[in-house]
Structure 1
Amino acid sequence: MTETRIRTGGCACGQLTFRTQGEPKRVGLCHCMTCRKISGAPFNAYLIFAIDQVAISGDFRGWSATPESERCFWTSCGSQVFDRDSDTEIEIKLGAFDEPNLFTPTYEAWARRREHWLRTPDLESFPENRGKAS
């Protein structure tokens, strides 16, 4: 019998927490301007899980909704924890997990916006959105 792996994480102050069950669908990096601007970093590292693999606890009133996605930030400490781009998937920030070194990205999106000094070996690279040719 195989054991389903449970992993935990949350915001900086610990009032918003999550639990994931099983393995993510994918793990990636994004260099797009939206990810750069909302994180204040040169890229975003994230995991995509099926929505039914994630349980979230806490009063996450800090939703910022756009036509493309919903971003959650915890109002007490300002942490960005997850995004929802669809009704079936949830994007969790890699740095929000309690343990480091759990996952390794396998691809990068918007590579044409990657900082020239940043090296990302052994990643499938997409010039723009994942799966697009240009």
Structure 2
Amino acid sequence: MSDKIRTGGCLCGAVRYEVSGEPYIAGLCHCTKCRKLTGSAFSATANWRQDQFTMTGNVQTYDRRQFCPACGSRLFFLFDDGVEIFLGTLDDAPYDIPPHLEVWTARREPWLPHIRGVDMHEHNPPPL
């Protein structure tokens, strides 16, 4: 595993996190929920194992996704054995995490360029 450390957090700085190593999956989602969560045409996320993730500060949860209660930044989704991070919350850009897949391409904006070599799924992909 890579020793790379990435840091991130919310807009106001009340919540900070760190992930070590590389994510095991990264992708773009064009579903309605992700559009509303991000206020954009899609979300860009990556997943790390739970033991690769640490955080400080207090978060609130809505619909299983964590956000900063002070500034409202949507940060990540904690699940049993990992974390899915909204890549826009990382401190350093570019973060050099290319997408492995795109999901809900049935709702993908036609003006978006296709990313060569990325697995595309019209709806949800099969489980990992």
Q: Does the alignment reach a TM-score above 0.5?
A: yes
Q: State the distance in 1 between where 2:22 and 2:2 align.
A: 11
Superposed CA RMSD: 1.5
The Cα offsets for residues 37-72 of structure 1, whole Å up to 9 and x where unpaired, read as 121111000001111110011011x2113xxxx111
Does residue 32 (structure 1) correspond to residue 27 (structure 2)? The answer is no
Q: State the distance in 1 between where 2:114 and 2:9 align.
A: 26
Offset, 1:74: 0.4
Q: State the distance in 2 between where 1:63 and 1:88 align.
A: 17
Of 62, 65, 71, 1:64 maps to 62
Identity of aligned residues (%): 37
Gaps of 5+ in 1: none
Counterparts of residues 11-50 of structure 1 (less than 5 Å): 11-50=10-49
Offset, 1:3: 5.8
Q: Report what 1:101 is aligned to.
A: 94
Gaps of 5+ in 2: none
Secondary structure of 1:99's match? coil
Q: Report what 1:128 is aligned to.
A: 123
The Cα offsets for residues 74-133 of structure 1, whole Å up to 9 and x where unpaired, read as 01111000013x30121101111010122111210111110111112212101111238x
TM-score in terms of structure 1 length: 0.87
The count of aligned residue pairs is 125
Residue 120 of structure 2 aligns with an amino acid whose one-letter code is S
Does residue 77 (structure 1) correspond to residue 71 (structure 2)? The answer is yes
Secondary structure of 2:35's match? helix
1:131–1:3 Cα change, 3 Å: closer
